Structure 1
Amino acid sequence: MFHFPVTCRAVEVGPVPVPDQRDPEVTRATLEAWLAALLPGATAVRVPHVQTPATTGFSAETLIFDAEWHAGGRQRSGGYVAKVAPTGHQIFPEPRFGEQYRLLKILAGTPVKVPTVHWYEPAPEVLGAPFLVMSRVDGEAPTDMPPYHTGGWVTEVSPQTRQRMWWTGLDVLAQVHSLAVDTLGLGFVDQPSYGATGIEQRLGYYENYLAWGYDGSVPVAEAALRWLREHRPPEPDPPVLLWGDARIGNIMYSGGDLTAVLDWEMATLGQPEEDLAWFLYLDRHHGEGCGVARLPGFPSAAETIARYEQLAGRPMRHMDYYEVLSGLKFAAIMARIGQLFVHYELVPPDNDFPRNNTASQLLARTLGLPPPGGELTVPAPMGS
C-alpha cells in the first residue's frame, strides 16, 4: 500500500486526507449484511464496529473490523481488514484486486508468510468498488511518513533488531523468487500486453503510466526512460515471481520478527534483480534521499547484494541498470501522487511537486543529471 512520503519532514505537511470519507455506521451495517449473506448456515452475524482511518495514503482504502457469528454449533469470531479498490484516487491504472486475491490464495500454501485472505467481492454495489477481506495481523510495518530512517518506531529499536529485520526481508525476496511459476500457476501476473520480457514490460508500462498519471511532463523520468531503453541488458534466466513493492515497509514485524508480508499490487514476472534493486532503492530514498544517514544496524547495499547472491546461488547482474529502473518507477509514482494532490485541491495547481520531489531528485542524482529545479518543492496545503 502506498504511503510514500510527500516530504521527508512529515511535520511540514502532515497526513494525507482520504478524498472520500465513509460513514462508519453505514459501512458497519453494510459489512454485517454482506457477511450474513456470505456465510452459509451462520446465524447471529454481527459486525460490532468498523474503523475507518481519518487519513491514509493515496492507495487502497482500508477498513478494520471485528465480526462474530454462530455456526456449526459454536460461536465464531475474528478480526479482519478489508482492502477496497480505489476509484477516483487510484495510484495505478488497474488495481488488479482479483489478481491480488488469487495470488494471496496461492502464496498461502508456500513459505511466504502472507495474511490469510478469506473473501473477495468483485461487485462494486456493496462498498462502491471491489474489495478483499483478510485476517488482521499483529505487528507494525516500518513507516514511510515519516521515513523510518528519520522517525518512527524503527529509530527506537536496537541496531541488532534492525539488522534482523533487514535480513528477514531479504529472505522473503529469496522465498518469493524461488517459487515455481508454472507449477503454482503464477503466470497470470505477467503483463505481456506491454512487452515480451520483464524489462520490456516495465518500460512499456511506465511510459504508459507517465502519460496516464500526470498531465504535465517529468523531464528526469523521461530521461531515465530513454537511458533504460538505450542500455537494456539481456535477461538470460527464466522469469520469476516478483513481489513488486519489495521493501521492509511492506513487512509487518513484532519484536523484530516477521509476522506478515503485505501489498502485492505491483506483483509481476521478471528477473530477481528488479525486486532487489527496489528493496535497496526505497531504503536509499528514506536515508540519502531525505538527507539523513541510515540508521545503525542496517546492512549496506554491497553486503545485501552479496548475501542475496548466496541465497540465489548466482551473481546479481546489471544492478546499476535496475537501480535506474527503480528510480523511474518511484519518480513516476510520485508524479501521480502530485497529480492527485492537485486534483483534490490539496495543493495549488501550479505547485511543482509532481516534477520536483525527493524521488525525482534522487533519480537525477542516480543518473548524474542536474536536480529537477530550484529548491525542493514541499506541497504546503491550500490556504496555508
Structure 2
Amino acid sequence: MAVPLRRSPADTRDRVRRWLTHTATATEIDPDSLFVTVPRNGYSAETLEVSGRDLDGRPRRLVVRVGATEDPVYPSESITGQAEVLRAVRTHSAVPVPKVLGVEPDAELLGAPFFVMEFVEGRVPPDFPSYHRAGWLAESAPSERTAVWWSAVTALERLHAIPADTPGLPELGAAGPAAQLRYWTDALDFYQVADDPVIERARAWLADNIPVRQSPHTLLWGDARLGNIIYTNTCVAALIDWEMAGYGEPESDLAWFLYLDRHLSTGIGAKRLYGLPDHARTVEAYAALTGRTLRNLAFYEVLAGFKFALITAAVTRRAARTGLPSDTPFPLHRNAVALLDATVEAQ
C-alpha cells in the first residue's frame, strides 16, 4: 500500500547528517560516511534507509521513520509514541521489533518528528503485487508458507501477552470496541466517506453489535499483517509499522490480520496461496496458544473492514494528488468497499 513521496535525496542526506552529528553516541555512525536512500514510496509515515560506517569503520545501516508531512492517512499519530511502544515491547517481551536508537520530536529538520532504528535484515511479503500473486512467498514451497503464517500467529500471541498497563507504554487513545468505533466514526468527515452507503451500513451494524468486553486489554499492534513483518527464512525477524498501535482485546489484531490477508486474495480476485492456513485453522490455533475462547471475532472483522475502507479512501486521494490514477489501475478503495459490503452481508 504505497504511493510516491517527494523529497530531495541530497537535502535529506544533509539534514539527517546534521542530526546524526549531534547524536553519534546513540547511533554510533560516522555522519561523514552517510548515504541516505529516499524510497519512492510510503503509506502513512515515510521510511528512509541510512547506510554508512560506524565509529570503528565497519558498515552500518539504520532506518529513519518520519511522520506524515502532508496528506496524512490517520487523523492523529504520534511518532514518539511509536518509539516508546517499540522500546517497551523490547524490554518486556521476546517479540522481535527493531531497536530504537534515537527520537527527534521537533518537526523542523525533516518536516515531521522522526525516530531512528536499527536496520533489520530480511524480506517482507509484498502488497503490490499481492504476495498471493507474486514474490518470494508465492515462489516458496507450501510447507514454507505454512511456517511463515504460524510464525506470525505465534508472534501475535506473544505480543498479546503484554498487558495494557505495562511500564513504559505510552498513552495511545481509544481502548475497547465502543471507543474504537467512536474514534473511527468521528473520523468519517476526515476521510470524506460519510455519504458512502456501504460504509454507513457497516457503521450502523457495528453500533448495533458492540460486544461486552470479554478479556483484559492488552497491547495491540494495530496494523497486524504479513506485509508488516520482516522474515528471516520462515521466521519472524521483526514486526514493523506501529502507527495503529493501541490497547484493547486481542481479537482486534487477529481480525485485522485475517481481513488484510483476505483483501489481498479474494478481495482483489486473487487465488489464495496453497499452504497458508485458513480462517478456521488460524482461529483455532490462536485460541489454543492463548488458552481462551475468542468470542468477539465477527465484530472485529467488520470493524477491520470499516477501518480499512476509511484508510484506503485517504490513500487513494493521496495517490491522486501525487500523480497516480485514483481508480484503475489503483482500485484499492473500490476493492476495500466491496469487501466490506460482502463482510457485512455475511453477518
On whether the aligned pair clears a TM of 0.5, the verdict is yes
Alpha-carbon distance between aligned partners in 1 of 2:30 and 2:102, rounded to the nearest angstrom: 19
Tell me which residue corresponds to 2:222. Answer: 244
SS for the counterpart of 2:201 is: helix
Q: CA–CA distance in 2 between the matches of 1:48 and 1:174? A: 38
Unaligned runs of 5+ in 1: 5-15, 370-384
Find out whether 1:127 has 2:110 as its counterpart: yes
Q: Distance in 1 between matches of 2:296 and 2:171?
A: 27
Q: Secondary structure at the match of 2:31?
A: strand
Conserved in 1, the CA contact under 8 Å of 2:220 and 2:253?
Answer: yes
How far does residue 274 in structure 1 lie from its aligned partner after superposition? 0.8
Residue 78 of structure 2 corresponds to 96
> Is residue 2:12 matched to residue 1:30?
no
The question of whether the paired residues in 1 share the 8 Å contact of 2:52 and 2:60 is answered with yes
Which of 354, 364, 373 is the aligned partner of 2:341? 364
| 1:117 equivalent among 78, 81, 100 | 100
Q: Which moved more, 1:22-31 or 1:141-150?
A: 22-31
CA distance in structure 1 between the aligned counterparts of 2:25 and 2:233, rounded to whole angstroms: 38
In 2, Cα distance between equivalents of 1:243 and 1:281: 15
- CA separation of 1:261 and 1:40: change in aligned 2, threshold 3 A: closer
Per-residue CA deviation, residues 185-243 of structure 1 (Å, 9 max, x unaligned), is 43622x14xxxx51112111111222112266322111101100011111122211111
Taking structure 1 as the reference length, the TM-score comes to 0.83
Larger Rg computed on CA atoms? 1
- For 1:64, give the aligned amino acid: E
Please name the residue that 2:36 is paired with: 50
Superposition map of 1:1-384 within 5 A: 3=1, 16-18=3-5, 20=6, 22-39=7-24, 45-53=31-39, 55-70=40-55, 74-75=56-57, 78-109=60-91, 110-186=93-169, 188-189=171-172, 191-192=173-174, 197-214=175-192, 217-344=195-322, 346-347=324-325, 357-368=334-345
Contact kept? 1:181, 1:187, Cα under 8 Å: no
* Percent of residue pairs identical: 38
The change in CA–CA distance for 1:226 and 1:77 in structure 2 (over 3 A counts) is same
Q: 1:232 to 1:267 in 2, by over 3 A?
A: same
Distance 1:131 1:44, change over 3 A: closer
Q: Secondary structure at the match of 1:108?
A: helix
CA distance in 2, matches of 1:96, 1:346: 27
* Matching residue of 1:381: none
Instruction: Tell me if structure 1 keeps the 8 A contact 2:316–2:333.
Output: no
**Counterpart amino acid of 1:168?**
S
Q: Is the 8 A contact 1:334 1:354 kept in 2?
A: no
**CA root-mean-square deviation:** 2.4
Q: Could you list the per-position Cα deviations for residues 81-114 of structure 1 after superposition, in whole angstroms to 9, with x for gaps in the alignment? A: 1111112122112221010011111111221100
Q: TM-score, normalised by structure 2?
A: 0.92
Q: Which runs of 5+ in 2 are unaligned?
A: none
